[in-house]
Amino acid sequence: MDATEDLSKSIRDTGRRMTRQRRAILHTLESVTCHPTAAELYEMVRREIAGISPGTVYRNLNVLQELSFVREIRTAGEPTRYDARVQDHPHARCSNCGCVVDVPLEPDVCIDEAADELVGWQLTGYSVQFDGICPNCISKSQAEKGDSEGPWI
């Protein structure tokens, strides 16, 4: 109850209100390690608040992003994904199944170097994304080898 109270207060401090919907969206996003899309998050939250509408999820994700309670992850050819870990950290995305995982690494070195190159800019953050095939898809593709199926090109 303490963490919940703290969160409500943080939200209230920004001049916004902590509603049941907003809390559920935030809690749900914080409770998963995958990085769901708005539609996926809507499906999850719907199990808690049956009547919630997709518009509310989208609206809240945008608000929560502006307030830096969540962060967007944009990947090629897929809807935006969301992350409740707002600190800059790299992601790895599987180009086969589209899953996104956190990479436990702070690439400070190159960031500092880049900052030197970007003279005149006021840098606020960065995002690093690795592309590749996840272990799961690698083993699947080995099991299926010979099959003419799947989005392999």
Of 73 and 101, the one with the shorter C-beta distance to DNA is: 73
Query: Which of 120/151 has CB closer to DNA?
Result: 151
Q: Which of residues 20-59 bind its own copies (CB under 8 A)?
A: none
SS (H, E, C) 24-69: HHHHHHHHCCCCCEHHHHHHHHHCCCCCCCHHHHHHHHHHHHHCCC
Q: Residue 138, Cβ neighbours under 10 Å: how many?
A: 13
How far is C-alpha 104 from the geometric centre of its chain's CA atoms?
15
Per CB under 8 A, the list member of 9, 12, 126, 150 interacting with its own copies is 126
With CB cut-offs between 5 and 8 Å by kind, which of its own copies, DNA, none does residue 120 bind? its own copies
Query: What is the CA angle 4-7-13, rounded to 5?
Result: 140
CB burial class (10 A; 0-12, 13-18, 19+) of residue 1?
exposed
* List of residues contacting DNA (CB under 7 A): 8, 11-12, 15-22, 37-39, 49, 51-56, 58-63, 77-80
Q: Choose from DNA, its own copies, none: what does 107 bind? Cβ within 5-8 Å by kind.
A: its own copies
Report the interface residues with its own copies, using CB under 8 A.
65-66, 72, 74-77, 80, 90, 92, 95, 103-105, 107-111, 113-114, 117-135, 138, 153
